Amino acid sequence: MINKIDKTRKSFDEEISKVDSSASLEELRIKYLSRKGLVSQLFESLKDVSKEDKPKVGQALNQLKIHTQSKFDEMKETFEKSENKSESFVDLSIPGRARPIGSKHILTQTLDEIKNIFKGLGFSVYEGPELESDYNNFEALNFAPDHPARDMQDTFFVTEDFLLRTHTSPVQVRLMTEKKPPLRAIMPGKVFRNEAISAKSYCLFHQVEGLYVDTDVTFAELKGTLVAFAKQFYGQDVQYRFRASFFPFTEPSAEMDVWWQPKGKEGRWLEVLGCGMVDPNVLKNVGIDPEKYVGYAFGMGVERTAMLKYGIGDIRILFDNDKRFLTQF
């Protein structure tokens, strides 16, 4: 019996030294270590061994089992390691399974930027309708009927009394009519101008209106607030200027220009927003006492701002929605 055990051990050792793949190792396992393998068979025949020999043979058998098993495990591990290596060549250059993400329209993104700056300065955000009454769009804002000031804003009329708003200022009127001061809000939205479509103008564009009404609002604060905006939006080193202008709903009125310096070209002043102190007539029209309250208002075009910022030369491309354009932003 001991001989048999030795013989098995030798043949196992011999065979395992010849094993060259996990497949041949598996064959070896089945031959020796499986339920009906040679080692098990030897254990089977233990019952035929005489009582006095049993401990010795049993011990030898156990050693054989440990020997074969550990040799096998060792070999298996070696194979796993090496084979894993060849299996695990991961070609990291293969493109990943991307999940496309869309984007907001560049005008919305620009508007977001503007909104975030003003929200940080304590402004609310209000919206209003695009199809407005002549009263809200003009009359309440101190545009006298038959005044040439109306020519400043070519208007699409739907009837004599209803029109596509030419600016976001009617939202001011709505806000001041509905709520009591203090009021500090910006009012973004679409506005319309009855102009021929060209590289420079489109029949609609987006505007952001700003309004602040309280008892201690000043022109100096209007300037400070808009400069703070310009610095955040255009950069801390932005050059700016305020010059007198005219809007029927503000007085004094101003326009703010920033210095625009395209690379390799002549720089110039570009108008970026109109502003001023809310005209007392406007406050009167919405039932706010113009002696007690003072307000400022401003308005800027989003298209113009975005075109400047991103170097877009033709306004129409903003409304063409070409995928090759959309995916750039």
Partner 1 sequence: MKISLNWLNDYISLKDISLEEILDKLTYAGLEVEEVEDQAKNYENIVVGFVVEAKKHPNADKLSLCKVSDGKEEFNVVCGAPNVATGQKVVFAKVGSIIPNGKSKIEKAKIRGEVSFGMICSERELNISDNQEGIMVLNPSLKEGTSIADALEMNDVILEIAITPNRADALSHIGIARDLSALFNLPLKYPEIKLNESGKKSNELASVEIVDVENCPRYIGKVVTNVTIKESPDWLKKKIKSIGSRPINNVVDITNFILHEVGQPLHAFDLDKLDGKKIIVRSAGNDTKFTTLDSKERNLQSKDLMICDAKRAVAIAGVMGGENSEVTESTKNILIESAFFNPSSIRKTAKNLGLLTDASYRFERGTDPNITLWAAQRAAQLIQETAGGEISFGEIDAYPKTITKRSTKLRFSRLDQVLGYHIESLEVENILLSLGFEITGNSKNELMVNIPSYRHDVEREIDLIEEVARIYGYNKIPEVSKISVTLEEKVDHSAFDDKVRVFLNSLGFYEIITNSLLSEETANCFGKSIKVMNPQSSEMSHLRPSLLPGMLTTISNNLKVNEKDLQLFEIGKVFEQLSEAKINSFSDFKEIEQLLMITTGNFIRTEWFEKDRPFDIYDMKGLVSSFLTNLLPGVTIADKYSDNDFQFFDYAFKIVADEKNLGICGKLKKEISSLFDINQDVFLFQTNLNELKQISIPKKTFKDLLKFPKVYRDCAFVLDSNIRSDQVAEVIKENGSNLLHNVKLFDIFQSESLGSGKKSLAFQLEYYDPARTLTEEEIEKIFSKTVKSVEQKFNAQLRGA
CB of 281 to partner 1, least distance (A): 8
Of 10 and 104, which has the nearer Cβ to partner 1?
Answer: 104
Contact (Cβ atoms closer than 8 angstroms) between residue 128 and residue 189: yes
Of 39 and 297, which has the nearer Cβ to partner 1?
Answer: 297
Range 188-223 burial, b when 16+ CB lie within 10 A, else e: bbebbbeeeeeeeebebbbbbbbbbbeeebeeeebb
The three-state secondary structure class of 79 is helix
Length of the chain: 329
Of 73 and 112, which has the nearer Cβ to partner 1?
Answer: 112
d(CA 235, CA 246) in angstroms, rounded, equals 27
Match 């070696």 to its residue by tokens.
Answer: 78
Of 35 and 94, which has the nearer Cβ to partner 1?
Answer: 94
CB of 68 to partner 1, least distance (A): 41
CB of 261 to partner 1, least distance (A): 18
CB of 37 to partner 1, least distance (A): 37
Peptide bond into 252 cis (omega under 30): yes
d(CA 54, CA 48) in angstroms, rounded, equals 9
CB of 84 to partner 1, least distance (A): 23
d(CA 119, CA 101) in angstroms, rounded, equals 27
CB of 95 to partner 1, least distance (A): 7
Contact (Cβ atoms closer than 8 angstroms) between residue 162 and residue 188: no
Token duo for residue 266: 């002549």
Of 19 and 279, which has the nearer Cβ to partner 1?
Answer: 279
Of 40 and 116, which has the nearer Cβ to partner 1?
Answer: 116
